[in-house]
Amino acid sequence: MTLEIVKMSAESLLAKKTRTFLSMLGIIIGVATVIAVFAVGKGAQESVNSQFQNLSANSILIMANRGRGFTSSSKLKTEDAKLLLSADHIASATGAIEGNSSVSYGSTDKSYGVVGVDQNFIPISNLSVSSGRTITQDDIDSKSMVAVVGSTVVSDLFTSGENPIGAEITVAGKKLQVIGVLTKLGSRVGMISVDEAVIVPNSTAEKSILGTKGQVMITTQVDSVDNTNLATTSISAILRTEHKLKISDADDFRIMDAGSMVAAAQASAKTLSTLLTAIAAITLLVSGIGIMNVMFVTVAERTKEIGIAKAIGGKRSDILSQFLLESVILSMVGGIIGMIIGQAAIPIISYFNIIAMTSSLNGPLIGFSFSVLVGVFFGFYPAFQASRLDPVDALRSE
């Protein structure tokens, strides 16, 4: 009897192919959306981790305050890094100046981030070179026209596969010799992607390339994460004194510790994921209501059929099972199609770099499970109504 009910449910759905497909469409969209939501959430999480993976948990960043009109008047300098070595609980410090500039080699000309650094920047930022060497104190003292470039810069400019070490590139109209190539990382230094960066001595950046247009960033490391607040207070006091700020003056710098930055970014990613999940849930809810409406129409159309089934001995449980099974089949098939579409969309969207997405097992599992629940929940009442029809009244129905 069970197989017969399954067969009858399938035949009923196939008899109205267009209506069946339209009923499933909401489920398809809903499940695909759920999968996309989890992929975006996981992608955002990985993006956050990637952006901050070159920062230790005990890192503190100091940048010029650009939020309250200090863009031109901030006195923060790369040399302030040396002063901060005297701050409480500061183990190391490095100053850098960041900006963007045109970079060319041969016939290729592109815009990249330029970072002027001291000799401590690369080790403190947990960076390394895959070939060549890093910036030295001698390079800084002599304002050497040298550069360490990111892996993407190499692949973009040196398209013929030539060795970049020793080659001359043009940065902001100045000839620089490539002395090193950074190991591919996929994260950022401040606001600049490491793989797309051109790193030069800070003295060279300030004199010949960025001038006053660059943004100063100082990275410090605390001797212990537990001392982050004490170090932050000490840094603030030293910089305010050095910049001769009055008590009534606002700071012309911003202090951000790595832990707070990561927490804030992760909170934003979680909020986005929660919002998108709510949208997906609403989509599935609406599609469930659509299935319920279709099932009510189906019951109305097949009232006489139900009466005949009951007249020849059909049980209420059989009628209930058949109509409930139709609803579940609708949602299951729609869920499977939605899973296929959702999973297929992830690599396509990732390829075109529209938004960061990473496949997640939770997406398909939750999406499909929820689609089945929608079928059961919204299909039960119409099926229950069908099973309660009086056979005599049902047979009189036209």
Over residues 44-96, the pLDDT tens digits come to: 777 666 655 555 567 888 888 765 444 446 788 888 888 898 888 888 888 88
The reply to whether 88 and 223 lie within a common domain is yes
Is residue 330 in a domain? yes
Distances in Å between the Cα of 179 and the Cα atoms of 74, 126, 139, 147, 241 are 33, 19, 11, 6, 38
pLDDT (tens digit per residue) in 290-335: 777 777 777 666 666 666 666 666 677 777 777 778 778 888 888 8
The reply to whether 200 and 298 lie within a common domain is no
Over residues 227-245, mean pLDDT: 88
Task: Name the more confident of 380 and 13.
Answer: 380
Distance CA(176)–CA(172), nearest Å, equals 10
Over residues 209-218, mean pLDDT: 83
**Bridge partners for 110 per DSSP:** 103
Q: Which amino acid is at 201?
A: P
Domain end, chosen from 242, 272, 301, is at 242
The reply to whether 150 and 298 lie within a common domain is no
Out of 111-115, 314-318, 338-342, 346-350, least confident range: 314-318
Is residue 56 in a domain? no
Query: Is pLDDT above 90 for 28?
Result: no
The reply to whether 15 and 162 lie within a common domain is no
The reply to whether 279 and 389 lie within a common domain is yes
Contact between 89 and 238 (Cβ < 8 Å): no
Work out the percent of the chain whose per-residue pLDDT is above 90.
Answer: 17
Closest alpha carbon to 391 in 307, 319, 315, 312? 307
Is residue 59 in a domain? no
* This prediction's pTM: 0.56
Domain containing 10 equals 2-50+264-396
Contact between 56 and 221 (Cβ < 8 Å): yes
Domain end, chosen from 180, 209, 242, is at 242
Domain end, chosen from 242, 274, 301, is at 242
The reply to whether 106 and 18 lie within a common domain is no
The reply to whether 131 and 180 lie within a common domain is yes
The reply to whether 87 and 149 lie within a common domain is yes
Per-residue pLDDT at 227? 85
The residues near 88 (Cβ < 8 Å, ≥ 6 apart) are 227, 230, 231, 233, 234
